Each structure stands twice: as structure tokens, then as C-alpha cells.
Amino acid sequence: MKRFAILPLFASFCSFGSTFQCESEFEWLKSTFENNDAGFQYSVEKKGQDLYSAHNNAILARVQSAKNEAQCQTVLSDWLAFFRNGHIGLALNTNNSNETVTESKVHDFDLSAFKQHLETKSDESLEGIWQFSSYTVALKKEGNVHEGYIVESTNPSWKAGQVKFIVNDPEDDNAAKVTFFMGDHSARQINNMMFLGNNHVVLGNSFIVMSRQEPRQESSPEVTRYVRLLSAKAPLFKRISENTVLVRIPSFNHAFKKDIDALIAKHLDKILKTENLIIDIRGNGGGSDASYASLLPILYTNPIRTVGVEYLSTELNNFRMLGFLQNPHFSEEEKQWAKDGYDILQQHIGSYINIGEDVTVEKFDKIEPLPKSIGVFVDSSNGSTAEQFLLAAKQSKKVKLFGQTTAGVLDISNMYKTDSPSGAFTLHYSLTKSLRIPHMAIDGVGIQPDYYIDEEIPIYEWTSYTQKILEGM
């Protein structure tokens, strides 16, 4: 069975704007979404036409008072929020804005004096020299906040002395925990920050992983191992013990399929000679179903049933299939699937069409004796293709899920995008609806773990906790 669906989990955008008419943008958004989104009618049927009409009236009043693009985006995003939480969004295109993002001020930051200041601080202090991605920053307390001043940057858009992020006063209940300035100097609010020992801080849902450079403190092996796993941008393999190995897959993005397949092929012999396997997909927000194909023979015990999807066929939606023909990551077989799919969809404009089968059943020639037990790490960031993988994995007698409830973003999927006529906005919406619903909905519910890992177990101890359970089975 081939899986070619692209199922990315969508993230919100923030931006700045200019003066313009928001009503015409709302008219375009409403018409485009109602006619092309595969989940529109499903959402309205669940919530009721009266509630939808009331929502439209409330939003229209706010639209009429929106004075610029940024305000308009906020209102229109609130309109979209009525339908679902994932696989949907509205981006403000800053390149088309009449107002440009103002570059951050360069401060006269004295690095030598700051390093002398650090010698007086306790080990637990947040102040210090930190490194992440392309940046080295000096995090200094300024009043009730901590400001991260650029020390070094390989990004030419950022200079020494500019503030890259601000850790806000934790007692200010009305403020996000972190105000982070993106590559274009626009602000992004981050509502969660996690400390890992004294040397590491995680901002957002693995959005940024910072490592302390000065003053460097001793880190436990478990924290160090976790940070390496969390920071990995590509799939990796690691032996945990004589009886347990771990595969880390940070993303199922179709661009990483070759890397995932290559990693599994390289270490397959070790995996198939080891009692236990941990598959770590924490932070994995989706991608392509094809990307996890090489994992299935390892966990297989009985036929894997997959319920299909139906596409909403419209002229706009079907154009996506033609785009796949130009995708360098698609094989010739996948491109043929896209071409055939386009031809079928074009024959049924205005209808929901399943271009595959309602239910597919995947069988493999053998059940591998090892690994005997497989634990899969799951968390609230797992959605879309990551959840589709879990639905397949859970059908194996070998597999147990460890962690916390997933995002619940799967039923309405396969995202596409289109720009407004003005070019101010880009709408991200979905093309398919699962045949599982309404009988087995994942959206808004998520997938529950078999072993819930509560907050009293630090996230960097998940591996050792799960290892003990697997090796004790």
C-alpha cells in the first residue's frame, strides 16, 4: 500500500500591517473557505447553522472596524478558529505590507563587564551566555525581565547588541513567558519555557533549545542525552542498553523520507537483534505517510488496517496534484499517483471523492521475532501524519504508547494554500476528510497513551522510565 498524503501540522503566523479595506479580504476568505475546505460543512453541521450565522455577524462587526492588515488578520483568524484547531490558518504576507518591520535597536552592551557580573551569580541563575541555532546571546536581568543580547550571530540580519528575546516577569500573568524576535525582527509570543538542569532551556514546544556556555555547570547524563535527542534535526539511532535501542524521528516531512529509510536500513540488523525498541516522535508534527513506511515491518504483528480519506474536488483544490509533479522529493511512482488522482478529481468537481480505497489492509511476509516490545514516545505536539502513524502502530501487539495525549489534528487534513487577490494574506486550509468520522474522531480528542507519564517524571527521564518497563516485560 502506498501512502502519499502530505499532512503537515500548521503553525500560526504573526506580522505587521498597513491601512486597507478588511471587508473585501473577509469576503474572499469566507467564499474561498466555504467552497474549498473539506471540513467546512462538517464543522457547520456539528455546531449548527444558527451558531455559524451568529459567528459571521459578530466577526463582520469587528472586520468593519479593523484599521490595518495586522488587525484584520487577527479578526479573520478568529473567524477561522470557529471550525477547528489544526490544519488551518491565515498568514499575513509582510512582503506585501506597506509597513516594514522595524529593525531592533543596537544596545551598547558591555560583554566584559557582564562576564565579571556572572562570577557573582549562583548556579541556578538564568543569567549567562547561551547558544542556540545561529546565535550566542547574553541573558541579563534588566529590572523584572531578562533580556537576551546578541553576542555573536551568523545571521546577517542580526547584530551584536540587539535584543533577540525577552524572558518576561513570571509574576505578570498577562504576559507570555517569552517574547522572541524572529529572523525579520517581528515578535512571536511563547507561552511555555522549560528548564533542563542548569545548562539547558527549552522555549516553546521544542521551538528553541538553548545551551548555557558560561558559567557552564555539570549536567546529568540523562539531561545531556535528552537535549541531544530534542535538538536532532534529522533521524538518529542510539543504543540505550544491551537490550534496548532507540530511534529518534523528529519529523515525518516527506523531504526526510530518504533519511529515515537510510537510518533504518543502516541499523536494521541491530534493531532486529535487540529485545526492545523505543521510537521517539516527540515534537513530530506530521509530514507524509510515506515517511514512516520503513518502520512498519519492524513493528508488524497482524494486518494493518487504514481507513482512507475523501477529497473535496474543486478547480482550486485539484491544482495541488499538478504541483506534486514538480516536487523533487517525489518518485516517478508518486508523480504518477498524483497525475492519476488529478484526472479522477477533475471528473467530479463539487463532490467528495476517494481516489484510493475506503479501507486498505497492509500485510507483510513475516513477523520479526525481535524486537519483542516497542515503546513509542508521544506528546501534545504530535498531530497529523504522526497520529496516522500511531493509528497504524497501535495495531501491533508489540507496541505500547508512552507519554501524553497527542494534539488531535488528523480528521480534516492534507493542507493547501492560496493567496488573497490583494496578496496581503495566504489562507491555509484542508483538502480531505477522513472516512473514520464521525464514528472515530481524532480531532479535538487526540490519541491516549497506554502509559501516561505524569508531570512528576521529568521529561528527560522518559527514556530511562520506559526502558525499565520494556526490559521488565
Tally of structural domains, the chain: 2
Same domain? For 170 and 246 the reply is no
- Chosen domain end from 177, 195, 218: 218
Same domain? For 355 and 234 the reply is yes
Average pLDDT over residues 146-151: 95
Q: Is the pLDDT of residue 472 over 60?
A: yes
- Lowest-confidence range among 5-19, 215-229, 355-369, 452-466? 5-19
Same domain? For 277 and 395 the reply is yes
pLDDT tens digits for 90-146? 998 865 544 444 578 899 999 999 999 998 876 667 899 999 988 999 999 999 999
CB 29 within 8 A of CB 333: no
Same domain? For 286 and 236 the reply is yes
CB 262 within 8 A of CB 337: no
Same domain? For 208 and 288 the reply is no
Same domain? For 392 and 459 the reply is yes
Same domain? For 126 and 260 the reply is no
The sign of the dihedral angle between the CA atoms of 308, 313, 316, 322 is: positive
Same domain? For 297 and 149 the reply is no
Q: CA-to-CA distance for 202 and 346, rounded, in angstroms?
A: 47
Residue (of 73, 188, 189, 62) closest to 427 by Cα position = 73
Same domain? For 280 and 382 the reply is yes
Question: Cell triple for residue 429?
Answer: 486550509
What domain range is 157 assigned to?
111-218
Q: CA-to-CA distance for 151 and 136, rounded, in angstroms?
A: 5
Question: Cell triple for residue 294?
Answer: 520503513
Q: What 8-state DSSP symbol labels residue 300? A: -
Same domain? For 241 and 183 the reply is no
| CA 261 and chain centroid, separation | 21
Q: Write down the pTM of the prediction.
A: 0.82
- Please report, rounded to a whole number, the percentage of residues in the chain having pLDDT higher than 90: 72
Residues 6+ apart with CB under 8 A from 54: none
Burial 283-296 (b: 16+ CB within 10 A, else e): bbbbbbbbbbbbbb
- Chosen domain end from 174, 191, 218: 218
Q: What 8-state DSSP symbol labels residue 330? A: S
pLDDT tens digits for 315-358? 999 999 998 888 888 889 989 999 999 999 999 999 999 999 99
Q: Is the pLDDT of residue 18 over 50?
A: no
Q: What 8-state DSSP symbol labels residue 357? A: -
